[in-house]
Structure 1
């Protein structure tokens, strides 16, 4: 049957459907029998106030309605559960077990009210099938080695990859990809960064919640590199200011910095968020900028979200707190990391200074913060210009984007496109400029 795709991330926080059931069967205590498998299926179906029953039902019918031999389905299930559940041992056999799983499960989600859902993912099924088969083949060798080395592997060489390919080609690409990921995880198959990025691109195209791919996957991360731009959005000191904008009183300031330092993008080597934040903090600390200028930068870019001036905290002392938090986090998650500053992009200094001058009319007359405690926009844009000139054009441009987001002046399409183009030259992620400024563009 044809799968009706949805933005699954709106329903689920992690895996769903038959692949989620395989995950439960692979970790449950004891040797799960048919009765236990049906109880666990009920748990999967109950997720998100019963929405889980929809994708479970669709997954099951994708297999039942296919021409896949029972042996292929059995091989996939043995692999996905690390040999802990064999549907062929059920009284009614492989397809009988699937029919029992399908009982009472919806065939598809009811049509929602108009405008209620986000646009449905639209990746063509044949394109998906080919992409999934390509990823299975890319991992076939390492998967076979992992199976040979695992004491609980119960399938002959080649059977797992071949069976997964068959599910992709003759069953359903979405289900085959999730079962393939489940097999990679239960056997700890190493996945290189390039393949991981491809898998995450498929995740995004299918509307899955990100954890379906990355939770439990053995990714061979490259070393932390502060010159890499793997994050899709803002990063470093400019990103930290957004963590303090508005209501954040649920945690102390130091804890808030710790949370930001630990917030690696799903495409980043663990520890990268702390490393790039540390790089920005040290650049500012090593610069000739006076503490008063650093204070203005912080207060304006955070929208006066954390008033260090009222608390008697010197701007440089605040940077040292940030530095200390980042160093501690890196000792915990990347103990072998040795910090190295990325090179300054001096080639883009003039381009950023032009952007600052052109943005000045939008910011100079603005007041940042409550009317009784305003940071003059002229002081804020002046401080950003100093960062560009004497510290780092990259950091200066990111702080300019933050200021524009905080002040929220209307932008022309030409201005917005200019910021996007400059962001691309710096290698920023696809959402860096759009998340901060797209809502400010006045069309027409």
Structure 2
């Protein structure tokens, strides 16, 4: 059965379809669930997203029913995905009979909302997808076989699980094969290297999956935290923190706000990286010769006066020390072996950043930050940024410049926007970093 793909990340927060049903069967705490209970849990999967979950469940079932896969292959893949919690072969009607019971409940997998309402559909060639998924299954076949052999839940022949997942992918459906493979990796705690994780996340993006579908519960062998790596898709460090305080925010305290930002690792980052990057920026400013007044202007400008440390009597360096304390507290929890090492400032691109700072002067000449309440002249904010570039770190200075432009919202020409994009690439920033800051500001010629 042909699968009509949607932007699943808009519909679902996590797993869906048969792989989500496998997860629900895993969570049953009493003795192995029977057929009736499996059908009841399937109803819960179908009810997700206001009933849209029935579509993916129905398509998954029909992909298996319409395939030439032998029952023992389907059974092996399913036993592995549920860690032996539910064996469809023990149902009165057998493996395919159980699948038919599911198919009878959702005979016409039609969406309740109009096609295209969920945005642009993911486009990936089915054969390309199947080839990529099979490659990942084979990459994990060895450690997967070892983990299965060590399991005391169900006895499966050596290599049978990887072979069954590959068959489901090749003869059933690449999408379903990938999701069952991910479920099996998590069930058996199979270690996944960072390079393979990045490939799996690339498939996640190509298919429009919700990110947690891949990374939640996956045993990723993360490399050590390294603040010099640029793995986040968007902003990071102090410039990213300032966006958490932009304009009105009332739901938590300032300390809690920093704590949330410090814990906001990108899915491609080693846990603790966001805190380490923020800590590195904080120390650069604390250890610098910049006056506290300059740091204050930087913070107030980058947040658009979203958190007025001047009005509540917080010295800028005291504010940085609070940020430092929160970051170190978070790192003790998630990466207790991490030890901050002073990293040299970026000097190779200092002149290039100074050029774009000075080119931005006309853009901010008549602009005020927070114009309706204790305004900060745009030129004063830009002068503070220039001090960071010259005396602290060109990387941090450029990121603060991007934040300042985002807050001030001047109009950029296509050529100016291109200069910022090019410089962002030279710094190794993620693909969304400059785009998220400036895309709405530039105009085409």
TM over 0.5: yes
In 1: Cα distance, 2:32 partner to 2:115 partner: 46
Residue 28 of structure 1 is matched in structure 2 by 28
Contact 2:55 2:111 in 1 (8 A): no
Shift of 1:49: 1.2
1: CA distance, partners of 2:363 / 2:241:
23
Counterpart for residue 17 of structure 1 = 17
Task: Map 1:184-263; keep pairs closer than 5 Å.
Answer: 184-263=185-264
Give the Å deviation of 1:115: 5.9
Separation in 1, partners of 2:257, 2:211: 23
2-structure distance, mates of 1:266, 1:177: 18
Q: CA deviation at 1:319?
A: 0.5
How far does residue 6 in structure 1 lie from its aligned partner after superposition? 0.1
TM-superposed deviation, 1:114: 7.0
SS for the counterpart of 1:45 is: helix
Q: Report the TM-score when normalising by structure 2.
A: 0.98
Provide the alpha-carbon RMSD of the alignment.
1.1
Report if aligned partners of 1:129, 1:168 keep a CA contact under 8 Å in 2.
yes
**Is the 2:69–2:167 contact (alpha carbons within 8 Å) kept by the matching residues of 1?**
yes
1:6 corresponding residue in structure 2:
6
Q: How many angstroms apart in 1 are the aligned matches of 2:423 and 2:110?
A: 43
Q: Distance in 1 between matches of 2:287 and 2:236?
A: 20
Distance 1:110 1:265 in 2: 32
How many residues align? The count is: 444
Q: Kindly state the Cα deviation for residue 361 of structure 1 after the two structures are TM-superposed.
A: 0.9
Aligned partner of residue 331 in structure 1, secondary structure: helix
* 8 Å Cα contact 1:271-1:330 kept in structure 2: yes
SS where residue 349 of structure 2 aligns? helix
The structure 1 segments of at least 4 consecutive aligned residues displaced by more than 4 Å after TM superposition are: 111-115
**Given the two structures, how large is their TM-score scaled by the length of structure 1?**
0.98
1:111 is displaced (CA, Å) by 8.3
Aligned to 1:427: 428
Correspondence 1:76-87 to 2 at 5 A: 76-87=77-88
By how many angstroms is 1:113 displaced? 4.2
Q: What stretches of structure 2 of length at least 5 have no aligned partner?
A: none
Equivalent runs, 1:5-154 vs 2, <5 Å: 5-29=5-29, 30-105=31-106, 107-110=108-111, 112-113=113-114, 116-154=117-155
Match of 1:232, SS state, is coil
User: What is the distance in 2 between the residues matched to 1:109 and 1:42?
Assistant: 16
**CA distance in 1: counterparts of 2:343 and 2:198, whole angstroms:** 23
1:364-383 residue pairs with structure 2 within 5 A?
A: 364-383=365-384
Do the aligned partners of 1:200 and 1:213 also contact (CA within 8 Å) in 2?
yes
User: In structure 1, what is the Cα distance between the partners aligned to 2:107 and 2:407?
Assistant: 46
Partner of 2:419: 418
- In structure 1, what is the Cα distance between the partners aligned to 2:86 and 2:67? 21
Q: How does 1:320-335 map to 2 (within 5 A)?
A: 320-335=321-336
Instruction: Give the deviation of 1:110 after TM superposition.
Output: 3.7
Quote the residue 2:161 is aligned against. 160
Q: CA deviation at 1:152?
A: 1.4
Residue 104 (structure 1) shift = 2.9
Over residues 276-333 of structure 1, what are the superposed CA-to-partner deviations in whole Å (9 max), with x where a residue is unaligned?
0000000000000000000000000001000000001111111111101101111111
Q: 1:228 to 1:420 in 2, by over 3 A?
A: same
Question: Is the contact made by 2:239 and 2:302 (CA closer than 8 Å) also made in structure 1?
Answer: yes
Work out the CA distance in 2 between the residues paired with 1:409 and 1:115.
Answer: 34
